[in-house]
């Protein structure tokens, strides 16, 4: 997932052409960017457009990936997230870069959220006969931890897994209201 920082907005010291991969920022501005890489920045002409989205609508904004910094210079990969490499060097214009929310940021957040650890009781009855239990979702490979009355169950020895269905090697013996099969997965 891309690196983030609060208030990550910087000013470009000198304009740059569509094929440039090094950008010089105003002195001290690199302090307002993360120290680790990579991360994406939106570049736009802030003289004519207060909002980078407005500049994008007329082809005057670009998303670049920052891959390093040294002194007042940053190294970038051009034309990220479906934008085009454009020239940012019109005389008399001020160009800014902002580390803001982009489609890639939201996609990466959604991916992480989808991997949130789930703790659940698989559906199925512990009665000494039933061997099949069902999870609410199919776990990612290697992510299932299964406990029977607090004891770790081992895939291959104690159960098999096919999609979201757990088949116990031996049907768990019931009889007590405290008998539980618990799963942790993502």
Where are the chain's structural domains? 9-111, 118-185
pLDDT per residue, tens digit, the chain (186 aa), is 667 789 999 999 999 999 999 999 999 999 999 999 999 999 999 999 999 999 999 999 999 999 999 999 999 999 999 999 999 999 999 999 999 999 998 888 877 776 677 889 999 999 999 999 999 999 988 889 999 999 999 999 999 999 999 999 999 987 777 789 999 988
**What angle (nearest 5°) sits at the alpha carbon of residue 57, between those of residues 25 and 80?**
55
Residue length, the chain? 186
pLDDT attached to residue 46: 97
pTM summary value: 0.64
Phi and psi, residue 53, nearest 5°: -65, -35
């Amino acid at each position: 997932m891309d690196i983030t920082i609060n208030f990550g907005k910087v000013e470009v010291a000198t304009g740059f052409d569509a094929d440039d991969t090094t950008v010089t920022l105003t002195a001290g501005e690199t302090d307002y960017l993360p120290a680790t890489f990579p991360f994406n920045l939106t570049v736009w002409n802030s003289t004519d457009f207060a909002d980078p989205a407005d500049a994008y609508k007329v082809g005057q904004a670009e998303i670049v990936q920052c891959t390093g910094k040294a002194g007042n210079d940053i190294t970038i990969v051009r034309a990220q997230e479906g934008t085009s490499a454009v020239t940012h060097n019109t005389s008399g214009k001020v160009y800014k870069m902002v580390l803001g929310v982009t489609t890639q940021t939201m996609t990466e957040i959604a991916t992480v959220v989808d991997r949130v650890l789930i703790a659940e009781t698989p559906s199925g009855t512990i009665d000494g006969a039933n061997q099949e239990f069902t999870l609410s979702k199919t776990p990612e490979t290697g992510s299932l931890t299964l406990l029977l009355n607090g004891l770790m169950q081992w895939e291959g020895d104690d159960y098999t897994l096919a999609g979201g269905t757990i088949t116990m090697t031996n049907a768990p013996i019931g009889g007590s209201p405290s008998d539980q099969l618990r799963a942790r997965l993502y």
